[in-house]
């Protein structure tokens, strides 16, 4: 099996949103009510929010392909975009999801 990683661009926003919905739902739906899950997905993966994140030069999204099929994605945050430690010498992995 051949694996490829490529950086996401703004042109990928709809694929990223759809894949984010799918993988987050697969991972966490058993721990949430349907209404809580729907509310979270709509807020976390709002198209305008994703656009802002993709345009943020301190955040990087990458797709992982397995034999040319989208199999996962991850989001990295450099210092200015980090949600926790805010260390200029570190990179934060904010999200990492793969298909089942």
Domain at 36, CATH number: 3.40.630.30
Which pLDDT does position 43 carry in this prediction? 96
**What is the domain extent for residue 73?**
3-98
State pLDDT tens for residues 21-71: 999 999 999 999 999 999 999 999 999 999 999 999 999 999 999 999 999
21: exposed, middle or buried (Cβ count in 10 Å: 0-12, 13-18, 19+):
middle
Strand spans (E) along the chain: 3-7, 59-66, 69-77, 92-98
pTM of the predicted structure, to 2 decimals: 0.89
Work out how many domains the chain is built from and give that number.
Answer: 1
């Amino acid at each position: 099996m051949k694996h490829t990683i490529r950086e996401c661009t703004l042109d990928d926003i709809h694929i990223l949103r759809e894949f984010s919905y799918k993988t987050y739902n697969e991972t966490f739906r058993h721990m949430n009510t349907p209404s809580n899950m729907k509310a979270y997905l709509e807020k976390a993966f709002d198209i305008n929010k994703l656009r802002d994140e993709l345009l943020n030069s301190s955040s990087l999204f990458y797709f992982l392909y397995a034999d040319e099929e989208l199999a996962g994605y991850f989001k990295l945050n450099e210092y200015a975009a980090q949600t926790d430690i805010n260390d200029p010498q570190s990179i934060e992995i904010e999200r990492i999801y793969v298909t089942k």
